[in-house]
Structure 1
Amino acid sequence: MCLMAKRSTYHHGDLRTALIRAADEIIAEGGIEAFTLRAAAKRAGVSPAAPTHHFGGVKGLLTEVDLLAFERAGSYLDEVPETKDAAENVRALALAFVRFAVENPGHFRLMFRGDLVDRDDPRYPAVSQRPALRLGKAVAAYHGRFHIDMKRFEDAAEILGGFATMHGLAQLVLEGKALVFFRKTNVKEFIEIDLPRILKEIYP
């Protein structure tokens, strides 16, 4: 099928979806560095002007991918069953979050690049806070705090502290710093064997 024929088959909503999917795939395969509006348009088989027309520019399209990334991270955490053991819950969620980061490095990095996305998007607070709330509430429960009100300073601080620990750990594993610290070279083995032991030391 020629490019012009392919373009003519898109409806407005389909074109937006195709561009988001194209950008999502580019980030998955090559990270943020590989992304350009032109690359997304080429992958979707549409005019180079289409991304700007539909999303206003780089930030608009990357915001859509960023929201998908947070949803994907939330899905990893949703697969972790909640038990009566607060420490085990924290360790299992931390492990899942690190796995998400390692298996989706481009998306993980995009999630924390406020300069590349529109955090004023009305959908952003609820979607982006979902993983942090799940992780943070688990840490709060570990410390004996079960009734969380994000409007209370102490509770918000508890959530932030818990998520900061998880994020920092994921970042260190993703960048290879944690492996160097423990003189390891295989990421998969580190996550499967060493990381559970490390988490048990942090959250006994």
Structure 2
Amino acid sequence: MSPRATYHHGDLRAALIDAADQLIAEGGIETFSLRAAAQRAGVSPAAPAHHFGSVKGLLTQVALLAYARAGDYLDSVHDTPDPAHNVRALSLAFVRFAVENPGHFRLMFRGDLVDRDDPRYREFSHRPGLRLGRAVATYHGHRHIDMNRFEDAAEMLGGIAAMHGLAYLVLEGKALRFFKGAQAESFLTDELPRVLEQIYPALPPPALPVL
């Protein structure tokens, strides 16, 4: 049965999103086009524009999927009583997502290609950022976060920005240049955990109450 024969009750829209998602996974933004998505889905070249209006409309749907996947990577990390362990593990999961999904990672932060006014964008994009940002804040001793408080918002921003930059350096192979003999295949398991131990060293034990 041809792909076209299976489309009914809205399946075409989902098929186009899936096709675009696959293209981004395989070649990133550079090789993506509406025509290629239509060809992958087995429909006419006009179908993507009809359903999504533009390249941006379709890529926004793919970006939302990418944010959901990033959230899944971070959700695979279970909290422990140790704030240092938590923030390191979440940071490692964030960088691993970037390395294993390079096309999607680059797309997620392209304001020219993603509609940030989409009503679902805030929910999807905040999920991974809040988890990581809260772990950073907790590591620094702020367990009750108030995003309306400048200091809390600034601390979360700084932590997320640091991991975002680190993810890009690893993704582009530039982080390897800091460590003689480092290999791209093993960097996530060998060097990066030690880097994160330097960024987030173990915290001293809590002081005993004075009797």
Task: Tell me which interval the TM-score lies in, with the shorter structure as reference length.
Answer: over 0.9
Residue 185 of structure 1: how far off its partner (Å): 4.8
Aligned partners of 2:119, 2:181: CA distance in 1, in Å?
42
Q: How does 1:29-178 map to 2 (within 5 A)?
A: 29-178=26-175
Residue 119 of structure 1: how far off its partner (Å): 0.5
Query: Helix, strand or coil: the match of 2:188?
Result: helix
- Supply the AA of the counterpart residue of 1:124: Y
Aligned partners of 1:164, 1:46: CA distance in 2, in Å?
40
C-alpha contact 2:182 2:191 (8 A) present in aligned 1: no
Q: Which runs of 5+ in 2 are unaligned?
A: 202-211
Cα deviation 1:162-200 (Å, max 9, x = unaligned): 110111111100001100121345223111011111110
- Which consecutive aligned stretches of 4+ in structure 1 deviate over 4 angstroms post-superposition? none
Cα deviation 1:96-153 (Å, max 9, x = unaligned): 1111000000000001111111000011011101111111100000000011122222
Cα RMSD (Å): 1.2
C-alpha contact 2:15 2:41 (8 A) present in aligned 1: yes
Aligned partners of 1:12, 1:36: CA distance in 2, in Å?
25
- Supply the AA of the counterpart residue of 2:68: E
Residue 12 of structure 1: how far off its partner (Å): 4.7
Aligned to 1:24: 21
Range with bigger deviation, 9-18 or 87-96? 9-18
C-alpha contact 1:132 1:160 (8 A) present in aligned 2: no
Identity within the alignment, %: 74
Aligned to 1:11: 8
Q: How many residues align?
A: 201
Aligned to 1:189: 186
Query: Helix, strand or coil: the match of 1:29?
Result: helix
Range with bigger deviation, 130-139 or 145-154? 145-154
Aligned to 2:209: none
Structure 1 residues 25 and 76, CA, compared in 2 at 3 Å: closer, same or farther? same
Aligned partners of 2:166, 2:142: CA distance in 1, in Å?
23
Aligned partners of 2:181, 2:15: CA distance in 1, in Å?
40
Cα deviation 1:26-47 (Å, max 9, x = unaligned): 0001111111000000000001
Aligned partners of 1:203, 1:136: CA distance in 2, in Å?
13
Residue 11 of structure 1: how far off its partner (Å): 1.8
Aligned partners of 1:26, 1:138: CA distance in 2, in Å?
33
Aligned to 1:200: 197
Output the TM-score relative to the length of structure 1.
Answer: 0.95
Higher helix share: 1
